[in-house]
Structure 1
Amino acid sequence: MSERVYVVLGAGPGLGLAVARRFAEEGYVAALATRTTDDAERLAATLRDEGHQAEGVGVDLTDPDDITAVVAGIGERHGRIDVLHFNPSAWREKDPLHLTVAELLEDVAFGAGALLPAVQAARPYLSAGARVLVTGSAAADKPSAAAASLGVQKAAVRNLVTSLDATLALDGIRAVAVQINGVLGKEGPFAPPPIAAAMWTAVSRADDDWTPHVPYDG
């Protein structure tokens, strides 16, 4: 129960797996949560095959009760959570003239609101030095009109991180949104490995150097 634990919600085979790998390389047990347990286990198996400790679990990020159960379950199994990484976002190709209020709220609930039950469930297992990490996006400042809800999600979750950091800092726990100011690619500065390295650097900072927002410009 002394091994540090990294949890990623909304893991995938690209950035989510790369960040989990980066933390696993630092000795963390990686818990990857995706929509289905089978998908999550395939990602975890990739890390285990590389010699890391990893587990996969299914989670419905549209269901606050399921988020609570999954995150609390990980905390109970390991006795701690050291990094909680919130990675999901909803992509809906609708401009503001066609996006409905219901669709906007659904997407914001998924890409921002789901962070609330995740942190609340993790809180009993977070101790001083623990971190909440959120994948941000340039869409928060430069939204695409073709997918209007994404920018709202990213602006909302960045704002929420500011409030979380101020609240958790009282107990030595910090929150940060790493804003990726570029388009994800397979190679180059916006490929998953260098972004994962930047996320590791962001959460490794001392409290004296802390800011709740870190831009990644490649």
Structure 2
Amino acid sequence: MNTTESPVLLVLGAGPGLGLAVARRFAREGYLAVLATRTEADAEPLAAALVAEGFAAEGVAVDLADPADVSAVVRGVGERHGRIDVLHFNPSFWRERNPLELTVPELLEDVALGAGVLLPAVQAARPFQSSGSRVLVTGSMAADEPNPAAASLGVQKAAVRNLVASLDGVLADDDIRAVAVQINGALAKEGPFSPTPIADAMWAAVARDADGWTAHVPYDG
């Protein structure tokens, strides 16, 4: 196993919007950005965009619906680089079902993807994390103000916020911290809720000193 000199950011559930913006923000700080998407064909253009800007980046495929694959992919990144300094968990699932239509299997499937697979991801990353490493999670106002038209999303976001607090309590003993940045607004192409300023807020949340650390940081634009 080789150890990459640069710190490593792994984005699970990367995309051309927020995931890429977060990767770019961390790359500006000297991180190697690893972008994990559903297929390599999806990941390669994202990594290529960063490489074209002069940053170090690579893309990998991951099936976020398969906990075993999540574990294998995260472990593979750790073994390849010898470290995972920041694990960014970005996935969620929008299902247009109100509470009178949503079934229990649908709810559980959505929560498993939007919150549950954070568990195997962190468990696989832990051997490659050291003092100062961070777990970063994309939160949402849906945790507090759910949209009835997509009832499972609010449950996903409330669940992952709660899970982050538990993870932070366990990881803190090793000076590894977890934080959910709750985006209290609708994502947009421009303005304070566009990817770039949100990515800046995520960097700020991770770059905080551990003194006075909180596992929940609201972003209000």
Give the TM-score normalised by the residue count of structure 1: 0.99
1:187 has 2:198 as partner: no
Secondary structure at 1:56's aligned position in 2?
strand
- CA deviations over 1:53-72 (Å, ceiling 9, x no partner): 00000000010110011000
Alignment partner of 1:215 out of 200, 211, 218: 218
Alignment partner of 1:20 out of 20, 23, 26: 23
1:173 has 2:176 as partner: yes
In structure 1, the residue matched to 2:164 is 161
Q: Which amino acid aligns with 1:77?
A: R
1:12 CA displacement: 0.4
In structure 2, the residue matched to 1:87 is 90
1:30 has 2:57 as partner: no
- CA deviations over 1:93-137 (Å, ceiling 9, x no partner): 000000000000000000000100000000000100000000000
- CA deviations over 1:176-212 (Å, ceiling 9, x no partner): 0000000000110001000000000000001103100
In structure 1, the residue matched to 2:77 is 74
Alignment partner of 1:130 out of 126, 129, 133: 133
The aligned runs of 1:36-75 (5 Å cut-off) are 36-75=39-78
Unaligned runs of 5+ in 1: none
The aligned runs of 1:138-153 (5 Å cut-off) are 138-153=141-156
Q: Which amino acid aligns with 2:164?
A: V
- The RMSD of aligned alpha carbons is 0.4
Q: Which amino acid aligns with 1:95?
A: N
Structure 1 moving runs of 4+ over 3 Å: none
Secondary structure at 1:201's aligned position in 2?
helix
- Give percent identity, aligned residues only: 75
Q: Which amino acid aligns with 1:119?
A: V
1:2 CA displacement: 1.8
- CA deviations over 1:46-89 (Å, ceiling 9, x no partner): 00000000000000001011001100000001000000000000
